[in-house]
């Protein structure tokens, strides 16, 4: 099955800084999503982005499917951005319902 690798595993920022999180995947994808798990354990869907670029407020994401990676940009970070960011992908050969998650990037934003 598809392999999903995220980097960096840990990231510490000062409030106001910008950051880029990376997700590499081992095969062509038809389904790629980014999630944020807050310190209380809740998982929030940030983007469904198998290709192209999307923006939502201070967050944006770009997936370059031909080169098998996706990037999540966080601008002007806030303490509420802290938590774990997960990338999840599904390869083209499957049905569209079997996401494989990376192990996440643990982000800490200090005031």
Partner 1 sequence: DAGITQSPRHKVTETGTPVTLRCHQTENHRYMYWYRQDPGHGLRLIHYSYGVKDTDKGEVSDGYSVSRSKTEDFLLTLESATSSQTSVYFCAISRDKGYQPQHFGDGTRLSIL
Binding site for partner 1 (CB under 8 A): 1, 30-31, 33, 35, 41-45, 48, 50, 86, 88, 90, 95-104
CA angle, 50 as apex, 16 and 78 as ends, to 5°? Answer: 15
Burial of 21-35, coded b for 16+ CB within 10 Å and e otherwise, reads: bebbbebebebbbbb
Contacts of 103 (CB under 8 A, 6+ apart): 6, 9
- Residue closer to partner 1, measured from CB, 17 or 30: 30
Least separation, in Å, of the C-beta of 48 and partner 1?
A: 4
- Residue closer to partner 1, measured from CB, 18 or 45: 45
- Residue closer to partner 1, measured from CB, 83 or 102: 102
Least separation, in Å, of the C-beta of 56 and partner 1?
A: 12
Which residue matches tokens 């354990």? 41
Least separation, in Å, of the C-beta of 59 and partner 1?
A: 14
Least separation, in Å, of the C-beta of 63 and partner 1?
A: 14
- Residue closer to partner 1, measured from CB, 80 or 110: 80
The answer to whether 79 and 17 are in contact (CB under 8 A) is no
CA distance 110 to 77: 9
């Amino acid at each position: 099955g598809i392999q999903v690798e995220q980097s960096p595993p840990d990231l510490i920022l000062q409030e106001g800084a910008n950051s880029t999180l990376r997700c590499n995947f081992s095969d062509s994808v038809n389904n790629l999503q980014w999630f944020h798990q807050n310190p209380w354990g809740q998982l929030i869907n940030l983007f469904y982005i198998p290709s192209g670029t999307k923006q939502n407020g201070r967050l944006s994401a770009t997936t370059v499917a031909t080169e098998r990676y996706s990037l999540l940009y966080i601008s002007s970070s806030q303490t509420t951005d802290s938590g774990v960011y997960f990338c999840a992908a599904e390869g083209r050969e499957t049905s569209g319902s079997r996401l494989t998650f990376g192990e996440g990037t643990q982000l800490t934003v200090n005031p």
